[in-house]
Amino acid sequence: MTATTSAAAGAEQAPRPPAGGALRPHAEQDFAAELAALAAADDRPRPPRWKLSPWAVATYLLGGTLPDGTAVTPKYVGPRRIVEVAVTTLATDRALLLLGVPGTAKTWVSEHLAAAVSGDSTLLVQGTAGTPEEAIRYGWNYAQLLTHGPTREALVPSPVMRAMAEGRLARVEELTRIPADVQDTLITILSEKTLPIPELGTEQQAVRGFNLIATANDRDRGVNDLSSALRRRFNTVVLPLPASAEEEVEIVARRVAQLGRALDLPAAPRGADEIRRVVTVFRELRAGITEDGRTKLKSPSGTLSTAEAISVVTSGLALAAHFGDGVLRAGDIAAGILGAVVRDPAADRLIWQEYLETVVREREGWKDFYRACREVTS
């Protein structure tokens, strides 16, 4: 089967039905209405096999209001230029590497880019220390291989190979967790846009529309660093931590609301106050200084990322819903914050106790938070 035939077969496939009752629908399912409205309003040029134009993809990620009044919710809150550079990269022959510390929405942005560009975010390779070469190239159906020998029917394409055949975006998560020799499998794919299949004496050529998005964690530097040859094949975009407390509060509140709806958790009338407290604590400990700049702090070993703040607040909402009165209070988030901050039981516990006594105890309006944190820390 040639690349052209594979691409045609992929194009003729019926769209996947919505995952009814799915705990976490794919982006293209969860935001299908927004994607359809953008496609209908999008009259700008689209690269080959793109579902939307680059302008519409950026609008989908950053949010906005369409001419017909449809509101597009922001999927990423941050500098617009970062999204524009990422989208433009995908429209060229360069692959995209999203780099950043944990919790900067690399996976989230990668998924939504694939959903908007290809209408399919599921062509995914999850990088781990045990990711084999077959996860990027191809494998074999050994029952057919033993019966009929190496044939195209016995070949099991990887998500990357499928993306090449169908002209879609492939995603590789945590690239620097993958062993170096497996990483380098991507070099020929990204430079020559072809995947040799020596067992069949043929190759899979990438059709127009194919590209690859990879994510990598700043904290994983030195684990499996990318070779210079592979790094040259990527255009690197660094996703920063939220620039301001207001921006981070908005991100956490928006994502917690989405998760709350998916989990059927009640909205919390006082949720905004507690979210701001969690974000303030995380930002101060992360930066090593209080917001007013008066007190220097020791930073714990954890990352205290935005993603962890979302987890703390979501867990607090679940506690309030199932074991409280449905209102998010300081006691509901205290245990979650302790678990996020104290990763090293010896050193981090002392840092947390010092922060409670020197900062939280003296902060106006935070007495209930101080008491709740002291209760779970003792």
Domain ranges of the chain: 3-238, 245-377
Out of 111-125, 224-238, 286-300, 332-346, the most confident range is 111-125
**In the numeric block, which tokens belong to residue 292?**
């007013």
Q: Give the span between the Cα atoms of 166 and 210, in whole angstroms.
A: 7
Tell me what the mean pLDDT of segment 183-206 comes to: 96
The pLDDT assigned to 222 comes to 54
Name, in order, each residue with C-beta under 8 angstroms of 204's C-beta and a sequence gap of 6 or more: 3, 6, 157, 161, 164, 165, 194, 195, 197
Tell me what the mean pLDDT of segment 266-287 comes to: 83
Tell me what the mean pLDDT of segment 174-185 comes to: 93
Tell me what the mean pLDDT of segment 339-351 comes to: 92
Beta-bridge partners for 211: 169
| Least confident interval from 6-20, 94-108, 171-185 | 6-20
C-beta of residue 351 within 8 angstroms of C-beta of residue 299: yes
AA identity, residue 348 = D
- Condensed to tens digits (0 to 9), the pLDDT of residues 49-88 reads 999 999 999 999 999 999 988 999 999 998 999 999 999 9
Out of 83-87, 323-327, 346-350, the most confident range is 83-87
What Cα–Cα distance (Å) separates residue 232 from each residue in 183, 227, 284? 13, 9, 36
C-beta of residue 239 within 8 angstroms of C-beta of residue 105: yes
Task: Tell me the pLDDT band of 356, cut-offs 50, 70 and 90.
Answer: very high
Residue 10 has pLDDT above 60, yes or no: no
Whole-model pTM: value is: 0.85
How far the first Cα of the chain sits from its last, in Å, is 66
**In the numeric block, which tokens belong to residue 147?**
């019966």
Superfamily of domain 3-238: P-loop containing nucleotide triphosphate hydrolases (3.40.50.300)
Q: What percent of the chain has pLDDT over 70?
A: 92
Name, in order, each residue with C-beta under 8 angstroms of 56's C-beta and a sequence gap of 6 or more: 38, 39, 41, 42, 44, 116
The pLDDT assigned to 221 comes to 60
- Condensed to tens digits (0 to 9), the pLDDT of residues 17-53 reads 444 577 789 999 999 999 999 999 999 999 999 999 9
Task: Tell me the pLDDT band of 3, cut-offs 50, 70 and 90.
Answer: very low
**In the numeric block, which tokens belong to residue 298?**
């020791």
Q: What percent of the chain has pLDDT over 90?
A: 72
C-beta of residue 302 within 8 angstroms of C-beta of residue 348: yes
What Cα–Cα distance (Å) separates residue 358 from each residue in 270, 288, 341, 363? 26, 13, 16, 9
- Name the burial class of residue 278, with classes exposed (0-12), middle (13-18) and buried (19+) by CB atoms within 10 angstroms of its CB: buried
